[in-house]
Amino acid sequence: MRTALIVDDSAFMRNIVRKTIEQHFHVIAEGCDGREAISLYKKFLPDVVLLDLTMPHVDGLLALREIMNINPLAKVVVFSAWGTKFTIMEAIQLGAKDFIMKPHFEQLLPALRKLFIEEKII
C-alpha cells in the first residue's frame, strides 16, 4: 500500500483527509505546519504529500518548495480554502501535481488516481 503524509494545521481537516484516503493509502504521518511537513517528508519519504497552504510558522508554499528541493519527483497535492488563481498557479509552478479547494475533498481520490494511474493502486 502506498504511503501518504497529511499536513494541515487543523486536526479536523487532517481527519477528513485521512478518512477520505485511508482505504487506498497508509497514512504514515501527519503534521500541523510547514516545518513538520519538511521534517516528516525527509524522515518518511512518503509516496504522496497532501499539503495545506495556510499554516503557522512555515506556510505550505515554502514547505512545497523545500520538499521539491529534497525530491524534484515528489508527488504533492495541495489543498486550501484560499485558492486564488495566483496561489494555484504558484503551487503548480513550484511542483504541486494538483490543487484541491477545501472543502471539496470528493476531488481528492480522483486527483490521486491521476497521479498513480499507471501503477493501478486505486
Handedness of CA 19, 22, 24, 30 (dihedral sign): positive
- Reported in sequence order, the residue ranges of the chain that DSSP labels E, i.e. its strands, are 2-7, 25-31, 48-52, 76-80, 98-101
Residue 57: which CATH number?
3.40.50.2300
Give the span between the Cα atoms of 71 and 37, in whole angstroms.
13
**Interacting residues of 38 by C-beta distance below 8 A, sequence separation 6+:** 58, 63, 66, 67, 70
122: in domain: no
For residue 41, is it within any domain?
A: yes
Number of domains in the chain: 1
Domain-embedded: residue 64: yes
Nearest alpha carbon to residue 107 among 84, 90, 83, 71: 83
Q: pLDDT tens track of the chain, all 122 residues?
A: 999 999 999 999 999 999 999 999 999 999 999 999 999 999 999 999 999 998 989 999 999 999 999 999 999 999 988 767 888 899 999 999 999 988 888 999 999 988 887 555 55
What is the domain extent for residue 98?
A: 2-117
First and final C-alpha spacing in the chain: 10
Q: Is 76 helix (H, G, I), strand (E, B) or coil?
A: strand
Instruction: Tell me the whole-structure pTM to 2 decimals.
Output: 0.92
